[in-house]
Each structure stands twice: as C-alpha cells, then as structure tokens.
Amino acid sequence: MAAEMALVKPISKFNTSIPKFGSSRCSKTRFLSVKMASTVAPPSKKKSQKQEIKESLLTPRFYTTDFDEMEQLFNTEINNKLNMGEFEALLQEFKTDFNQTHFVRNKEFKEAADKMQGPLRQIFVEFLERSCTAEFSGFLLYKELGRRLKKTNPVVAEIFSLMSRDEARHAGFLNKGLSDFNLALDLGFLTKARKYTFFKPKFIFYATYLSEKIGYWRYITIYRHLKENPEYQCYPIFKYFENWCQDENRHGDFFSALMKAQPQFLNDWKAKLWSRFFCLSVYVTMYLNDCQRSAFYEGIGLDTKQFDMHVIIETNRTTARIFPAVLDVENPEFKRKLDRMVEINTKLLAVGDTEDIPLVKNLKRIPLIAALANELLAAYLMKPIESGSVDFAEFEPQLVY
Ligand SMILES: [Fe+2]
Ligand SMILES: [Fe+2]
C-alpha cells in the first residue's frame, strides 16, 4: 500500500500530552496529537524520546476486516468464479521478486539528509513518517490475510504474504531514511498502539485497489518529474520510485483480479454508489493532505495542485477499467469543488490553532464541517462516468508506463 485514505472514518480520541522532540519541531499541533511511535535514535543512547505526530481526520490509518467472510469469498468450493489459473500466474510473478535487490542504500542518503536544513528538513521527516506508516499499514493487513487464508486458498494466501513482504520492504526502506535524520518509527509500538479501522471485505477491495493505484501514480509522477528536473533531487529515495511503484502496480492488479472473482461487488447499483464514494474519499483525502503540505511538493519543484490533479486523473482512468462507475474528475467543476474544500479545511485547521477552549472550538467547527460535507456531497452527486468491465483482464497492462 502506498497512499492514504482516511476521510471515511471520523477522528478518534488519542493521547494528547506528548513531549516534543528537539527544538526544530516548530509547527503547532493541529487537531489532536497522538503518541505514535517515532523515536529519536541516537546510536550511543539507549533511552529514546517519543516524538509527536499529528493525528487528524487525514492521518494514515490501519485497517482490519472480517476474516471469516474473506475465507468464504476465497473458498474455491463456494465461489466458482475464482480463476485459479490467473491467480497461479500472478503468484509466479510475485515469486519472481523483481525488486529483491532494488532497495539497497548508499552513502548519498545520509549526506543528502545532512544538507537538508530548516523547514524543508522538517517537512521531509513528516513525509517519511507518513509514507512509512501507510506502507506499514499495508504490510499488517496483507500479512494477516496471508495467514488467515492459508487453509482456504493457499495460492491467494501466498500472494498476500508476498505482498506483505513488499510492503515491509517499502516501510523498512522509509524507516532507514528516517535514520538519516536520526529518527526511527517504532513499528512494534505502532502495531499495538494504533486504532484499527474496520472495513467489510468488499470495502477493503475498493479502498486497497485505489490506494495501490494512486500510490503507483504518485511515485511514478514524482520519479519522472525528478528525472527531468534533477536539480530538485534533494534526497536519493526518489531514485528508487521507478521500480518501487511497479510493486504498487502489481498489488493493484492483484486486487483487480480479486474483484473480478467477486462480480457481485462490481455489477449492481450499490457497487456503483460505493465505487464513487471510495474514489471521492481517496481523492479528497490526498488533495487536502497534500495542500496542507505544499512546502514539500514545492521543495521538489512540483506544483501541488497540478501534481495532485494529474495523479487523480490518471488513477481515475486506471480505476475506470474495473470499477463500475467513477467520478468525472476531468470536469473542471470537480477541481473547483476540491479547491473549495481546501479553503474550508484551512479554516478548520485555523480553528484548531486558536487558544479557545475545546467547546468554543467545536462550535466554530460546526458550520465549517457542514460546508465541507456539503461540498463533498455535491462532488459525489456530480454526474458520474459509467465504466468498468469484469472481462477486461486481457487489456490490463502489467507495466503502465
Ligand atoms: Fe508499498
Ligand atoms: Fe502496495
């Protein structure tokens, strides 16, 4: 998994009193903060210091599902739509492990991190933390699915296990990146401490497919941009994105195959409504998140909104091959709505930053949340694009670029 999807679940309560690390962490806490897991990792000291990570409506989440229902869905005796030939072929591809030797670091990492100072350094750390959390979230979900499906469908189970291998590699690589900044995410603590969001299997399929494909488009777009504009290549991790994103693409293709094996999740009016809902959640989450962090994208020479719209449009075109309906994201009105949501979200964040007591803050938030909900609903109700075909397998390229 590579991207984040959070809007579908409202904010939960978290621990709020955490010491800050170092003096460079100057940004104010927005919404509630959570003791998550990042620790300063000085080589000589065993004692570690907890780091504060902002927990908000848009923070990457961990997911869990109904594993018993999953077992039923992948039981070949119950579901005769499971094309085991296709899954066997996918398994062979995963076993090939194209990126086995790809994630090898060199001394450029530490040197680049040391050169990075000021606000860019801070925002870079946040990028690494969030990306690592999102990748690790995929690792946990796939690992558990691999374990739980072993008896019912060993082929599908092994693919999940191999995908969890990929995600562990991605999360580990990002965490090593944090060590260049003398930090580390304590992933064991993260596993236990974070709240898990429950999704029924059908929603896991929609959400995870989108998350993998949007992750692919984000990584490849950044990679191509930096290849053309090497003067913005401020940290070597981006050089790894070309092969890295192919992992995400393969993961997304596997979810395509899973959904085709469950046509009941793709072929009725409810599927159309849910498809649009998940597209909207994923796109809006990314847009609001990225606009909050435009300094990061500007730091690598990207225009945040332009970058996001490119990623949304490409992801939507890819998604239209499998989802029965998608949003008309190429209609300029869609972007106008996203921009209005950014304005409202900025006001919401400003309320969190005031010195008001919680009650006053909540009262001030009510009209803003109503306005945001209104925009979301209007975007959802825009005339959709009918799409998808459960027989599209032969048109799905293994490599999109
Ligand atoms: Fe990943
Ligand atoms: Fe992935």
* Helices and strands of the chain, counted as H and E runs: 13, 7
Question: What is the reported pLDDT for 158?
Answer: 97
Residues 364, 17: Cα–Cα separation, whole Å? 23
Question: What is the reported pLDDT for 140?
Answer: 94
Q: How far away, in angstroms, is 224 Cα from ligand 1 center?
A: 18
Q: Is the pLDDT of residue 4 over 50?
A: yes
Name the burial class of residue 76, with classes exposed (0-12), middle (13-18) and buried (19+) by CB atoms within 10 angstroms of its CB. middle
Name the burial class of residue 185, with classes exposed (0-12), middle (13-18) and buried (19+) by CB atoms within 10 angstroms of its CB. buried
Which residue is it, tokens 């558990």?
144
Please write the tens of the pLDDT for every residue from 141-157: 999 999 999 999 999 99
Ligand nearest to the CA of residue 167, numbered in listed order: 1
Q: How far away, in angstroms, is 60 Cα from ligand 2 center?
A: 14
Q: How far away, in angstroms, is 17 Cα from ligand 1 center?
A: 31
Whether the CB-CB separation of 262 and 73 falls below 8 Å is answered with: yes
Q: Is the pLDDT of residue 397 over 90?
A: no
Q: How far away, in angstroms, is 344 Cα from ligand 2 center?
A: 31
Ligand nearest to the CA of residue 133, numbered in listed order: 1
Q: How far away, in angstroms, is 127 Cα from ligand 2 center?
A: 17
Ligand nearest to the CA of residue 1, numbered in listed order: 2
Ligand nearest to the CA of residue 249, numbered in listed order: 2
| Distance in angstroms between the alpha carbons of the first and the last residue of the chain | 19
Q: Which band of pLDDT confidence, cut at 50, 70 and 90, is reported for residue 391?
A: low
Q: How far away, in angstroms, is 247 Cα from ligand 1 center?
A: 7
Q: How far away, in angstroms, is 169 Cα from ligand 2 center?
A: 10
Q: How far away, in angstroms, is 346 Cα from ligand 2 center?
A: 30
Please write the tens of the pLDDT for every residue from 344-364: 999 999 998 888 899 999 999
Whether the CB-CB separation of 225 and 302 falls below 8 Å is answered with: yes
Q: How far away, in angstroms, is 270 Cα from ligand 2 center?
A: 26
Q: How far away, in angstroms, is 290 Cα from ligand 1 center?
A: 18
The 10 Å CB-count burial string (b at 16+, else e) for 2-35 is bbbbbbbeeeeebeeebeebeeeeeeebbbbbbb
Share of the chain above pLDDT 70, in %: 82
Ligand nearest to the CA of residue 219, numbered in listed order: 1
Task: For residue 168, give every residue at least 6 positions away whose Cβ sits within 8 Å of its Cβ, in sequence order, or none.
Answer: 136, 139, 143
Residues 147, 294: Cα–Cα separation, whole Å? 39
Q: How far away, in angstroms, is 233 Cα from ligand 1 center?
A: 21
Q: Which band of pLDDT confidence, cut at 50, 70 and 90, is reported for residue 27?
A: very low
CA atoms within 13 A on the CB side of 370: 6
Q: How far away, in angstroms, is 3 Cα from ligand 2 center?
A: 9
Which DSSP category does 195 fall into? P
Question: What is the reported pLDDT for 334?
Answer: 98
Average pLDDT over residues 124-137: 93
Residues 52, 19: Cα–Cα separation, whole Å? 7
* φ and ψ at residue 66, rounded to 5 degrees: -85, 100
Q: Is the pLDDT of residue 389 over 70?
A: no
3-state helix, strand, coil in the chain (%, to 5): 60, 5, 30
Ligand nearest to the CA of residue 173, numbered in listed order: 1
Candidates 74, 155, 1, 83; CA nearest to 393 is: 83
Bridge partner residues of 185 (DSSP) = 38
Cα-based distances in Å from 134 to 19, 286, 339: 24, 12, 25
Q: How far away, in angstroms, is 254 Cα from ligand 2 center?
A: 10
Question: What is the reported pLDDT for 8?
Answer: 39
Please write the tens of the pLDDT for every residue from 33-51: 233 344 544 444 433 444 4
Question: What is the reported pLDDT for 265?
Answer: 92
Q: Mean pLDDT for the chain?
A: 84
Candidates 391, 57, 95; CA nearest to 250 is: 95
More confidently predicted of 389 and 230: 230
Token pair for 292: 């909050």
- Give residue 108's Cα distance to chain centre: 27
Please write the tens of the pLDDT for every residue from 269-294: 999 999 999 999 999 999 999 999 99
Give the angle subtended at the CA of 73 by the CAs of 70 and 75, to the nearest 5°: 105
Share of the chain above pLDDT 90, in %: 70
* φ and ψ at residue 169, rounded to 5 degrees: -65, -45
Q: Which band of pLDDT confidence, cut at 50, 70 and 90, is reported for residue 3?
A: low
Please write the tens of the pLDDT for every residue from 321-343: 999 999 999 999 999 999 999 99
Question: What is the reported pLDDT for 81?
Answer: 84
Whether the CB-CB separation of 276 and 380 falls below 8 Å is answered with: yes
- Give residue 95's Cα distance to chain centre: 24
Ligand nearest to the CA of residue 162, numbered in listed order: 2
Whether the CB-CB separation of 83 and 231 falls below 8 Å is answered with: no
Token pair for 277: 């809902």
Please write the tens of the pLDDT for every residue from 232-260: 999 999 999 999 999 999 999 999 999 99
Residues 15, 4: Cα–Cα separation, whole Å? 22
Please write the tens of the pLDDT for every residue from 56-102: 545 678 899 999 999 999 998 888 888 899 999 999 999 999 999 89
Helix (H) or strand (E) holding 55: strand 50-55
Whether the CB-CB separation of 344 and 22 falls below 8 Å is answered with: no
Q: How far away, in angstroms, is 164 Cα from ligand 1 center?
A: 9
Q: How far away, in angstroms, is 45 Cα from ligand 2 center?
A: 34
Residues 79, 85: Cα–Cα separation, whole Å? 14
Helix (H) or strand (E) holding 326: strand 325-326
Question: What is the reported pLDDT for 249?
Answer: 96
Question: What is the reported pLDDT for 185?
Answer: 87
Question: What is the reported pLDDT for 190?
Answer: 83
